[in-house]
Amino acid sequence: MLMPKKPGRLSRWSLPLAIAGAVAVVGAPLGHRVGVLPLAIAFLVLLIGVLLSLVVLPVAVTRLVRGRDAPGSRRPVMGAAAISAVTGLWPLLMVLSALGLPAIHDITTDLDAPPRFDAMVPLRADAANSLEHGGPDVAAAQRAAYPDIETLVLGHPPDRVVELARETAEAMGWEIVAVDTDAGRVESTDTTPWFGFKDDIVVRVRPATGGARVDVRSVSRVGRGDLGANAARIREFLARLRAASAD
């Protein structure tokens, strides 16, 4: 009869290492959000946390599958496997899901005449990314990656659509910066939940036959690429706006 082994070194250290990795993965974005960690340092700490989690995970799983630890000593290893699976695989899957997407951070439904910001300009004075559109190269990259991002036409007067756009932006948790009904423009800022990055959005409403044309532009303040966040934001906004206009 095989007797349970005493807790080994891997069993003893897997949980503390998994917790250390989780603290780094969770703490790095939070530290940047509150202004404690510069972005470069926060990314480095995050990377270390993810790598540590990805090292602990297979070790813990292997120990659970092959080991003969006493029941009490298996619980820390199970905890280590669960924690490292979340803090190691979740960020990895986020990055893998964005593979193949272009390194662009400015997405718009109108690539020929992108909506222009007004009230947002002074708020982005220190932003790393400009509000000037990247031109034909960025437009071609967007068309290839996000062919579904296009103008929305609604059967309501422009002033009503502007109000619906404002309500939709508020419902999505965006901070409303300016609403100009006469110009047909709504400007907002969306703060990402993880690092607290700020992305700016302008909605442009123009008269169209029997209704109004809606164009949206979403631009990140930092980062060369956005992992598809701006396109996803525009898709959700347009879907919500379309649903609101149908009520």
**CATH number of 113's domain:** 3.30.530.50
Of 97, 130, 159, the one marking the end of a domain is 97
Cα–Cα distance, 77 to 68 (Å, whole number): 12
* Pair (121, 214) in one structural domain: yes
* Pair (229, 157) in one structural domain: yes
Cα–Cα distance, 57 to 43 (Å, whole number): 21
pLDDT of residue 235: 98
Bridge partners (DSSP) listed for residue 176:
188
Cα–Cα distance, 3 to 58 (Å, whole number): 24
* Pair (52, 16) in one structural domain: yes
Cα–Cα distance, 207 to 156 (Å, whole number): 9
Cα of first residue to Cα of last residue in the chain, in angstroms, is 70
* Pair (117, 212) in one structural domain: yes
pLDDT of residue 1: 41
Range of the domain at 194: 106-246
Bridge partners (DSSP) listed for residue 199:
190, 220
Of 62, 97, 132, the one marking the end of a domain is 97
* Pair (140, 91) in one structural domain: no
* Pair (92, 165) in one structural domain: no
> What's the predicted TM-score (pTM) here?
0.84
* Pair (22, 110) in one structural domain: no
pLDDT of residue 67: 64
* Strand, helix or coil for residue 56: helix
Q: Would you write out the chain's pLDDT as a tens digit for each of its 247 residues?
A: 444 455 555 567 889 999 999 999 999 999 988 889 998 999 999 999 999 999 999 988 888 887 655 555 678 888 999 999 999 998 888 888 888 899 999 999 999 999 999 999 999 999 999 999 999 999 999 999 999 999 999 999 999 999 999 999 999 999 999 999 999 999 999 999 888 899 999 999 999 999 999 999 999 999 899 999 999 999 999 999 999 999 8
Please identify which residue in the block is written with the tokens 């379309």. Answer: 242
Please check whether residue 164 lies inside any domain of the structure: yes
* Pair (136, 194) in one structural domain: yes
pLDDT of residue 241: 98
Cα–Cα distance, 104 to 191 (Å, whole number): 18
Please identify which residue in the block is written with the tokens 């082994």. Answer: 5
**Total number of domains constituting the chain:** 2
Of 43, 78, 97, the one marking the end of a domain is 97
